[in-house]
Amino acid sequence: MTAVSNQTRRTMPATGDTLLDVQNLEKFFPIRGGLLSRVVGNVKAVNDVSFKVGRGEVVGLVGESGSGKTTAGRAILRLIEPTGGQVLFNGTDITKLSKGQMRDYRREMQIIFQDPFASLNPRMTVSDIIGEAMQIHNLHPGKQRVDRIAELLQKVGLRPEHMRRYPHEFSGGQRQRIGIARALAVDPAFIVADEPVSALDVSIQAQVVNLLQDLQEELGLTVLFIAHDLAVVEYICDRIIVMYLGRVMEIAPSRELNRNPKHPYTEALLSAAPVPDPTVKRQRIILEGDIPSPINPPSGCVFRTRCRYAIADCANIVPELREVSPGHFKACIRDDIL
Amino acid sequence: MIPFLLRRLVQSVPTLFLASILIFFVIQLAPGDFLTPAKLNPNISPEALAALERNFGLDRHPIEQYFLWMKNMLFNFDLGLSFSYQQPVMDVIKPRIANSMYLVLLSTLLFYAIAIPIGVFGAVRQNSLGDKTINVILYFLLGFPSFFLALIVIYFILQVRSATGLDIPINGMTSNGFDSMTPVQKFLDIAKHLLIPAIILAVSDAAGLTRVIRGQMLEVMRSDYIRTARAKGVSERTAIWKHTFRNAILPIVAGIGGLLPGAVAGAGFIEVVFAYPGITPMILDALNAQDLYLIAGFTVITTVLLVIGNALSDILLAVVDPRIKVG
Amino acid sequence: QSAFVWPAAWTAEQNTANKRGGELRLSAISDFKTMNPFTSSEADSIPDRMETGAGLFTQDPRNDEFIPYMAASAPVVSNNNKRFVVKIRQGMKFSDGQAITADDWVTTWKIHTDDKVGSNSYDTFFLVGKPITVKKLDNYTLQFDFPQPSASALSIMSYAPWPDHVFGKAYREGGADAVKKLWGLATPASQIVSPGMWVVDSYRAGERTVFKKNPNWGDWNKDSRGQELPYLNTMSVRIVADANASLAAFLAGQIDTVGMRNADDLAQTKKAIDNGSLKAFLKANVSPQATSQWITFNWNKAGDPAKQKLFRDVRFRRAMSHIANRQAMVQLALGGLGSETYFSTYPIFKQQIDAGLAAGAPQYKYDLAQASKLLAQIGYTKKNAQGYLVDKSGKVLEFNLSTNAGNTVREQLGRIFADEAKKVGVKVNFTPIDFNTLVGQLTSKGENRPFDAILLGLSGGSNIWSFGSNVVPCGTNLHSYNNPTDGKCATSQEQLMTKLYYQGDAELNDAKRRAIGGQLMKAEGELQPVIYLVGGNYHVAFNERLGGEFAANMMDAYYGHRLQALTFIK
Amino acid sequence: MTTTAPANTQKKDKPLGQSQFSVAWQQFRKNRLAQAGGLMLILLYVMAIFAPFIAPDALSSYSTSNITRFHPPTPIQFRDPDTGAFTRPYVFKYTQQLNMDTFVNEFKPSAERCPLYFGVRGASYKILGLFPGNLHLFGTNKEDCSVYLFGGEDLGRDLFTRTLYASQISLTIGFGAVLITTLIGLMMGAMAAYFGGIVDTVIMRLVEVLAAIPYLFLLLLLRSVFPRDINPILALYVILGILAFIGWGGLARVTRGQLLSVREQDFVSAAKSLGASDNRIMWRHMLPTLTTYVIVTTSLAIPSFILLESGLSFLGIGAVEPYASWGSLLKAAQDGGLSSLNTRPWVLIPGFFIVFTVMCFQLLGDGLRDAFDPRKRA
Amino acid sequence: MTHQGEVLLAVNGLKTYFSTDDGVVKSVDGVTFHIKKGETLAVVGESGSGKSVTSLSVMRLIPTPPGKIVEGEILFTGKDGVQKNIVTLSEADMRKIRGNDISMIFQEPMTSLNPVYTVGDQIAEAVMLHQGKNKKDAMGVATDMLRFVGIPAPEKRVNEYPHQMSGGMRQRVMIAMALSCKPALLIADEPTTALDVTIQAQILDLMRNLQKEVGMSILFITHNLGVVAEMADRVVVMYGGRVVEEGDVVDIFQAPRHPYTMGLLNSIPRPGEYEHVPGQPKGRLEAIPGNVPNPLNLPPGCAFEPRCKFAVPDCSKAVPALEDTGHGHMSRCIRWREFAQAQREVTA
Ligand SMILES: Nc1ncnc2c1ncn2[C@@H]1O[C@H](COP(=O)(O)OP(=O)(O)OP(=O)(O)O)[C@@H](O)[C@H]1O
Ligand SMILES: Nc1ncnc2c1ncn2[C@@H]1O[C@H](COP(=O)(O)OP(=O)(O)OP(=O)(O)O)[C@@H](O)[C@H]1O
Ligand SMILES: [Mg+2]
Ligand SMILES: [Mg+2]
């Protein structure tokens, strides 16, 4: 197999040129009710989220279920329309683009879905699925297209003859590869990988993670890698963004985050992951209770209801994301902890 | 709950409005009117016909007729006068609707009484010989146009009557001496008359519901919580009736509200064939006679009931399914 | 005053054992619509049934003559047969015990003739547009003034008197609207008052109406042995889905009598009788029915002059009569149990038919050769490749014939007619269409009316003067073959027929009137404006528990098989 | 060997490129009852197409001179009655006589024999309205001595012939109506889901209105609006149109619901993220998800239309003379009342065709539903 | 841990097959293991390796048809101290064991509770069934159990419906239900797989604490090795319907003697272990290539052979036997000795 390719050198975050700049992104889902089904409330799925992603960088987005990771990822690609904020891609604010203009940008930005079963149209063959993107953008017309599809299949570790098969004839891991091939079909610069391995078994998960990493390095892709399992994210990402209840809690280089979490939520998240070593008996920080409702998030810091360091002020002040050390940001008012 | 009902009310206004327009003008579109047959009567002169037209308001423009009708309906709750009965529509159809309801309710009851056990049996013994046999029989019955089935049944009743002398009623809703019976006798008498048409109705349609129940049961039986129940050590009966069935009937419960307009709309051809004094024969006659307000009024009533029925369905579903909240 | 005695000859089976009580069980196919005699618009309605045994005069089924009934004696006629003074029998009471007096007749007349009420009897109180008036001379004397003499005078005067204390009161207080609001189906039976033999006992929508005998009626109605009538206690009318259902009910012994439509019904009944499950009286082909089926050709086709000319050609119409294979129609459409008809007078009115035949009224019977000959005379001699007759220009001899969809008998008649027509080369495009559309076409007025030919039927009519007031005279509604805007006759025969119609209608003497009718039939027969086809036969079937029926020779479609007053349960 | 190797455990047991339909077909093949139903339906349709050829007579030909009302079925004889030897198949000629005592029109076989021939020339016809012919599968070649396999009806027409011709209408009216219903339903549902807002509201209200108005009555009303003096066969198509016009509500509702939920599915998002146009998403991704639903509902809706048509015939507005449907034939039997049951039961045969066809459709529909049920697949 | 050492459950040569349209699936093909009193035994293995079928066989809840226990015995010593063979028990006797002696909790907390009954009803049902308590007392027990599993305001929650609770709470309800009759054995079939890491931590914590209090044995099924490391005393590794390795948890993690176990261990990213230097290429996870074999079409020899990087021709000849490699550490690999050797060298 190909060894690790050295063709692309990674640039450090934020220092190099920024590919993606998300500013105050916001996505509220209206809740309707009442006599005339007026909007009576909002699910604040993503609330005032800002971050940058450098060209060629792999950034992780973690947080527990329902924290708004998927929503953020899709809003960035405008698969759902954000209700507020801006997404600058290569300097252009894509939230302002028309449908037609957006179509050109779609070539540049792709997504791999969490669920390898729901994200492939069960009525289309693999070649239809992968070829569709090319057809839309008129890439590789005619005979070339088949070759290109075959090439992509090989690249993700499938065989060309799989082209004629339907998704239900593949295992979960294989399906996820098809999803990856589809995303790669248009030669994108940026990929949102939305929990691409969460639905997979550990042994398959490793296969897919390795594949993603290879492709990223080989093609110089910029990746927003969404997950809730810090172990995987840490392994593959340069930087990590931690979200909780629609807000960013902490951003830091992955090694820094792992070694030196500055936010109580990150700390708890890290400690919660079970360590596959029976000899290590770690003291875990158990978060009490469940994630609150995003319709009525707690005032002030949204994490305070489960935070063991919470103080009275936490209920009053919405903590800002501030840089506590170079490249390390946190949204917590307390500096005396951790 | 109250806001829910209010919202429903608001939403139903356009429906009612559209339905009333549709039905009213479709009736008007049909050739001729209520007085057409009178024209063939050798004894009615054109002058008399004109007078009748004036009396019935048929000389006015249809749009004017519609607005008058609407006005009366909205402000006086008056559905208009039936031409052929010369009485308020409501008075005319009320007893008929009541009669239809007895029949529909009984047949619905029987319908469920037949379909539920068979459906459950089919699911529990999926693909067994019994399951398949019952299915084929039900499909066979389903294929009978109800009037055809009724004809055959009537024939057999006649045979039985003449062979045994049993007084099995073949049509109608009451026996001759009905008015001089005690209440209990009256009840039994009506029940006796209802039974056969109700059974025919129930049996000939049972296949549909049986299939739904069977499918629902199968689906629920596959669900995790049934396994949980079994893991607790509950008996097979409890697992099926308490855990599976209760969940399987949720969509059926939701359909119950839809029965309301159905009960009013009558049992269809069966009523005709059995000379049952329900609403169907009356409306068929009214359609033939183009008894404008009778038809339109009846439609308004069923539409209103449909709206109520739908709301009722939602409420019922919320009652039986704790996951659903009305509001 | 003495009671009216029902002649012993009116029944073949005397109730010598004086059986009383019991119920006469009948059936009807459509539900009752109202109990109000003034808004009721159909035959055999509740008021119709209640007024059995009410009316100034009644017809003797033996000879069709009117005899005083509620009238105490024959009327005193004056003013050139236009004024009738009638003494009313005294001591008659409504079912609620109130005396029946002249006021009741006057009120009833007033309400019927108020066009705001919309009574179906409105027209009976007018003669050629002029009103008949009714005046009360005293409590027991009425004076009727006719605008002109009328053969039907006694019949017209025999309307049922409805209680002035109910309807008159309402009418005076609230006018027509108040009358219309009375006696709906929801009215409690206790409020219903009847002048006749029956009064409503209970009504169950769509199921059954039960009538009980009017207790006061027997005071003035006695049988020949002086017993009060009726013998029966109650009469119930059960609503059934259709004729099949009433037959089933009859076979099951649930109703006492039923109409026999055809051989099937007879066969079923006979079978039930033979295998012992039913004890009933059955007699087939008792008489013809009082109905006719006919084909009318439209003379007002200004838009298609060729067709108009054709339809107006008497030879064409006679040819059409020759084409009508009436025997086949009886065999096929009526199952062999029917009668051929050639005149507008129903064959049941035997005396009139005989008068017509005596006067030389022609019958153009089935004869294809004759038809071909007549058509050749018009100019149709050549046939085209398909076998249809063509004129000189090569146009096929064809016309459209419609009837109302859903009436299988008429559909079959039309088919047979079309098939026979084809044999002589006439192309008949036969289509059943919607009844209302058909009636609209038939009754349309104008120079260019929207049909070629229509196959339809009429029923109703009386044995006094059996020609339709709305049919025979030019310009009337059902003068279906020729109905131009001005209502003028197109032919001299029509003029003659119109004249004869009014002449006969004003003739009080039965024999003379029938002679006039004979002339009319001759004129009509020769003109053949309408081709008469066939009519069904009347059969009698009733459960043997009933007694008091007519002698066999008295039964016919007009009078039925019994009088309810003399009927008893064995 | 650090990165992944391609999945090399090839499943050999299933053929490559197995589409959803071939999977369903495999499942379907295991369902004997459904297969039998399907097979019978195919036979019925073939029979309908070739009805003019199979039938010995024309749809509505009867003699008006020799009337054979309710001619009983004529058993086909194979043996010579005298010698007992096998001969060319023949039927007896019947004589009839109205018995004035019992009022039964009695048919009796006479001694005259009418041999049956295969491939006789007779009434001309067009198969599928295209291929003319006058060859009939079998017949007697005699005017006044025909073969009545199913007996005769009230005009003496051959019921077997009528039943065959009737199948053309009964079996297609459902198809046509369901086709139109499906198209309208899909279109309306798609429009409601796609445009949303006011279009959605209007369409959904309309569906509600159509649901509110008693089906049968609306049908009667609409039917009466159309003139009756048009060609009866055209009238049938009018009914068909009306049936379709009324029936689309349910499907529209389902379509709308399905599309709204599919819209949220990842594979639609995926197509969107690839830059697919709305049109493409609709036709390539969203509407095809309804295929199975449509197949199954169709197979179940067609029989209900057959039943409905029989109901309409019961009310006298179905197929009218000279055309016939099973429903109208059954209605004629119904009109005959008790006699149809006890003196000429053969007139009920068309009714059993209805029963049988509906049953076959149910079995087929059931089988299809099971076959397309993804959970049934391992 | 009172009865440490006594065997509570012994599964011997269990074979559970499913007959499907395509053929017979040998989901469990001769599985043997045991659980001692008070012990936690983890069963690991990839999806489809037969873990759930094994546990359902123990509960005798295999859907029949298509499934059937075709061979083997499951010996269980209940609260009454009598050893019974679950495979041959009557259905009535089995029902007495279910929920009373052996309880089970499932992977999907969202769908494993009946949506139309309150959680209290559902817990009480088992109590009424097995302890003969009346409804009121049983509801009392239910409330106590909810409190026991750490649900706040149990008096209120007991009357709530499952949909009113979050996934973590539902899983607690499941546990409460399973423990309500103080079973001797709790089977937990991937109880945390569907849960979030933080909630998973809560639940694991809870289970450990409860086990200490109640003193029951746990058969813990998962494919998450991190969870195994935290929970298990002993581990059974399954592959293709067979046990491929069994042993003490520390042995399994530190000295795996089956290539599949090794592969599994290698494919997990361990937090904190990959501190790659920026600018340098990252290391690789060592994934097991290929997919789980088709259960209809298992290779004739070692089921893992097609994916095994240590495979030798002999591997495909016959199914290797499960051999004791010392101290009850069993392996179903013909080359286990070489691994043992290599491990000794590393430690040395
Ligand atoms: N279409 C929608 N309408 C309403 N609320 C929504 C919608 N989509 C998502 N949400 C809500 O937004 C919040 C964030 O959801 P999101 O799917 O982004 O979370 P996530 O972090 O991706 O979770 P997971 O790890 O489970 O995928 C959740 O509370 C969810 O219920
Ligand atoms: N009802 C069934 N019908 C047919 N095959 C079945 C059935 N249940 C399980 N199997 C088969 O048995 C094998 C083992 O399944 P099992 O559920 O025990 O795996 P598992 O190890 O629990 O996997 P997971 O981690 O996904 O839960 C699988 O190949 C599965 O396809
Ligand atoms: Mg997500
Ligand atoms: Mg499992």
List, for residues C141-161, the tens digit of each pLDDT value: 999 999 988 888 898 999 999
Q: How far apart are CA D101 and CA D108, in angstroms?
A: 17
Q: Is A67 near ligand 1, meaning CB less than 6 Å away?
A: yes
Q: Is E52 near ligand 2, meaning CB less than 6 Å away?
A: yes
For a ligand 1 pocket test, name from A64, A67, A80, A230 the mutation site with the most ligand atoms within 8 angstroms of its C-beta: A67
Average pLDDT for D343-350: 88
pLDDT computed for residue E271 by the predictor: 59
Chains with ≥3 Cβ pairs under 8 A against D? A, B, C, E
pLDDT computed for residue C194 by the predictor: 92
D270 in contact with chain A, both atoms CB, cutoff 8 A: yes
Q: How far apart are CA C433 and CA D232, in angstroms?
A: 9
Cα of B11 to nearest chain A Cα, Å: 8
Position A227 pLDDT exceeds 90: no
Position C466 pLDDT exceeds 70: yes
* R_g of chain B computed on alpha carbons: 24
Cα of C116 to nearest chain B Cα, Å: 6
Q: Return residues 80-139 of A near D (CB < 8 Å).
A: 102-104, 106-107, 109-111, 113-115, 118-125, 132-133, 136-137
DSSP letter string over D239-269?
Answer: HHHHHHHHHHHHHHHHHHHHHHHHHTSHHHH
Position A12 pLDDT exceeds 50: no
Q: How far apart are CA C142 and CA A287, in angstroms?
A: 108
Q: Which of D2, D27, D378 sits opposite E286 (nearest CB)?
A: D2
Most confident of A109-118, B166-175, D369-378, E296-305: A109-118
Q: How far apart are CA D179 and CA D173, in angstroms?
A: 10
The band of D3, judged by pLDDT with boundaries at 50, 70 and 90, is: very low
Q: Is A69 near ligand 1, meaning CB less than 6 Å away?
A: yes
Distance in angstroms between the alpha carbons of the first and the last residue of chain B: 6
Neighbours of ion ligand 3 (CB under 5 A): A 70
Task: Give pLDDT tens digits for A154-200.
Answer: 888 888 888 888 888 787 788 888 998 899 888 899 999 998 887 77
DSSP letter string over B15-38?
Answer: HHHHHHHHHHHHHHHSSS-TTHHH
Provide the residue ranges of all domains of chain E, joining segments of one domain with +: 1-100+182-269+285-347, 107-181
Return the DSSP state at D283. I
Better-scored residue on pLDDT, E275 or E18: E18
Task: Note whether A34 contacts B3, CB cutoff 8 Å.
Answer: yes
pLDDT computed for residue C137 by the predictor: 92
* Contact residues for C323 (Cβ-Cβ < 8 A; gap 6+): C366, C368, C371, C417, C420, C421, C424, C426
Location of structure tokens 């007139």? D347
Position D145 pLDDT exceeds 50: yes
Structure tokens at B84: 């052929």
A52, A20 contact by CB (below 8 A): yes
* Contact residues for D50 (Cβ-Cβ < 8 A; gap 6+): D127
| Of the listed ranges A130-144, B154-168, D98-112, E95-109, the one predicted with least confidence | B154-168
Nearest CA in chain D to C269: D102
Given the DSSP bridges, would you call strands C234-239 and C23-28 parallel, antiparallel or unpaired? parallel
Q: How far apart are CA A204 and CA A196, in angstroms?
A: 11
pLDDT computed for residue D14 by the predictor: 44
Cα of E307 to nearest chain A Cα, Å: 12
For a ligand 1 pocket test, name from A39, A70, A232, A296 the mutation site with the most ligand atoms within 8 angstroms of its C-beta: A70
E289, E266 contact by CB (below 8 A): no
Position B204 pLDDT exceeds 70: yes
Which residues on D lie below 8 Å from B281 (Cβ)?
A: none
Torsion of CA C324, C329, C332, C337, to 10 degrees: -160
pLDDT computed for residue B159 by the predictor: 81
Cα of D210 to nearest chain C Cα, Å: 25
Closest-lying ligand 1 atom to the alpha carbon of residue A46 = 14
Position C496 pLDDT exceeds 80: yes
Nearest CA in chain E to D6: E290
pLDDT computed for residue D64 by the predictor: 65
The band of A33, judged by pLDDT with boundaries at 50, 70 and 90, is: low
Q: How far apart are CA E314 and CA D221, in angstroms?
A: 83
The continuous run of DSSP H or E covering B64 comes out as helix B62-76
Structure tokens at C233: 């206690």
D284 in contact with chain A, both atoms CB, cutoff 8 A: yes
C454, C401 contact by CB (below 8 A): yes
The band of D20, judged by pLDDT with boundaries at 50, 70 and 90, is: low
Better-scored residue on pLDDT, E140 or D141: E140
Better-scored residue on pLDDT, B316 or A13: B316
The continuous run of DSSP H or E covering C354 comes out as helix C350-358
Task: Give pLDDT tens digits for C93-137.
Answer: 999 999 999 999 999 999 998 888 888 788 888 887 889 999 999
Q: Is E49 near ligand 2, meaning CB less than 6 Å away?
A: yes
Average pLDDT for C336-351: 88
Task: Note whether B323 contacts E115, CB cutoff 8 Å.
Answer: yes
For a ligand 2 pocket test, name from E27, E112, E239 the mutation site with the most ligand atoms within 8 angstroms of its C-beta: E27
pLDDT computed for residue C86 by the predictor: 92
Q: Is E55 near ligand 2, meaning CB less than 6 Å away?
A: no
Location of structure tokens 């995987």? A232
> Considering every ligand atom, which ligand is closest to the CA of A61?
1
Better-scored residue on pLDDT, D64 or A178: A178
pLDDT computed for residue D318 by the predictor: 73
Task: Note whether A202 contacts E201, CB cutoff 8 Å.
Answer: no
| Phi-psi domain of A77 (left: phi exceeds 0; alpha: psi -120 through 50; beta: other) | alpha
Q: Is A13 near ligand 1, meaning CB less than 6 Å away?
A: no
A163, A126 contact by CB (below 8 A): yes
Task: Give pLDDT tens digits for E264-288.
Answer: 888 887 655 555 555 455 667 777 8
Q: Is A191 near ligand 1, meaning CB less than 6 Å away?
A: no
Position E324 pLDDT exceeds 70: yes
Q: Where are the beta strands (DSSP E) in chain E?
A: 7-20, 23-36, 40-44, 67-77, 83-85, 102-105, 185-189, 217-221, 234-239, 242-248, 323-324, 330-331
Cα of E254 to nearest chain D Cα, Å: 21
Average pLDDT for E135-152: 86
Task: Give pLDDT tens digits for B76-118.
Answer: 777 888 888 878 888 888 888 888 888 888 888 898 888 889 9
Q: How far apart are CA B133 and CA B122, in angstroms?
A: 10
Most confident of B195-204, B286-295, C459-468: B195-204
Q: How far apart are CA A310 and CA A314, in angstroms?
A: 6
Q: Return residues 333-372 of D near B (CB < 8 Å).
A: 334, 338, 340-342, 348, 351, 354-359, 362-363, 366
Q: How far apart are CA D61 and CA D143, in angstroms?
A: 11
Centroid of ligand 1 to alpha carbon of A67 (angstroms): 7
Task: Note whether C205 contacts B171, CB cutoff 8 Å.
Answer: no
Task: Note whether D267 contacts A120, CB cutoff 8 Å.
Answer: yes
Q: How far apart are CA A142 and CA A131, in angstroms?
A: 11
B–D interface: beta-carbon pairs under 8 A: 118
Q: Which of D7, D266, D284 sits opposite A174 (nearest CB)?
A: D7
ipTM: 0.78
* Closest residue CA from atom 5 of ligand 2: E18
Give chain D's mean pLDDT: 79
The band of E100, judged by pLDDT with boundaries at 50, 70 and 90, is: confident
SS3 state of residue A110: strand
The band of D16, judged by pLDDT with boundaries at 50, 70 and 90, is: very low
Position C542 pLDDT exceeds 90: yes
Position D375 pLDDT exceeds 70: no
Instruction: Look up the pTM and report it.
Output: 0.81
The band of C317, judged by pLDDT with boundaries at 50, 70 and 90, is: very high
D104 in contact with chain C, both atoms CB, cutoff 8 A: yes
D124 in contact with chain C, both atoms CB, cutoff 8 A: no
B281, C28 contact by CB (below 8 A): no
Alpha helices in C182-262 (DSSP H): 243-251
Average pLDDT for C323-331: 89
| pLDDT > 70 in chain C, percent | 100
Task: Note whether B269 contacts D311, CB cutoff 8 Å.
Answer: yes
Cα of A308 to nearest chain D Cα, Å: 38
pLDDT computed for residue A72 by the predictor: 93
pLDDT computed for residue D224 by the predictor: 66
Better-scored residue on pLDDT, C49 or E65: C49
A304, A298 contact by CB (below 8 A): yes
Q: How far apart are CA B205 and CA D215, in angstroms?
A: 17
CATH superfamily, region E1-100+182-269+285-347: P-loop containing nucleotide triphosphate hydrolases (3.40.50.300)
E134, E217 contact by CB (below 8 A): no
pLDDT computed for residue C256 by the predictor: 92
pLDDT computed for residue C231 by the predictor: 92
Centroid of ligand 1 to alpha carbon of A230 (angstroms): 19
Interface mutation target, options B34, B56, B85, B147, chain C, most CBs of C under 10 Å? B85
pLDDT computed for residue C295 by the predictor: 94
Task: Note whether B10 contacts A35, CB cutoff 8 Å.
Answer: yes
The band of D65, judged by pLDDT with boundaries at 50, 70 and 90, is: low
Position C296 pLDDT exceeds 90: yes
Structure tokens at D358: 């509906």
Cα of A216 to nearest chain E Cα, Å: 12
Which residues on B lie below 8 Å from E126 (Cβ)?
A: 232-233
Structure tokens at E171: 């899983």
Return the DSSP state at C92. -
D95 in contact with chain A, both atoms CB, cutoff 8 A: no
Q: Which of D351, D354, D359 sits opposite B139 (nearest CB)?
A: D359
- What residues form DSSP beta bridges with C560? C556
Q: Which of B233, B235, B322 sits opposite E115 (nearest CB)?
A: B322
Most confident of B67-71, D204-208, E41-45: E41-45
Better-scored residue on pLDDT, C395 or B255: C395
Average pLDDT for C308-320: 92
pLDDT computed for residue B20 by the predictor: 80
Q: Is A70 near ligand 1, meaning CB less than 6 Å away?
A: yes
| Of the listed ranges A159-168, B254-263, D350-359, E189-198, the one predicted with least confidence | B254-263
Task: Give pLDDT tens digits for D212-225.
Answer: 666 666 677 666 66
Position A323 pLDDT exceeds 60: yes
CA C121 centroid distance within chain: 14
Task: Give pLDDT tens digits for E214-237.
Answer: 888 999 998 888 888 888 889 999
Task: Give pLDDT tens digits for A65-91.
Answer: 888 899 999 999 998 889 989 999 988
pLDDT computed for residue E3 by the predictor: 43
Q: Is E98 near ligand 2, meaning CB less than 6 Å away?
A: no
Location of structure tokens 């599915």? D265
Position A2 pLDDT exceeds 50: no
Give chain A's mean pLDDT: 84
Average pLDDT for B136-157: 83
The band of D335, judged by pLDDT with boundaries at 50, 70 and 90, is: confident
Q: How far apart are CA D52 and CA C388, in angstroms?
A: 26
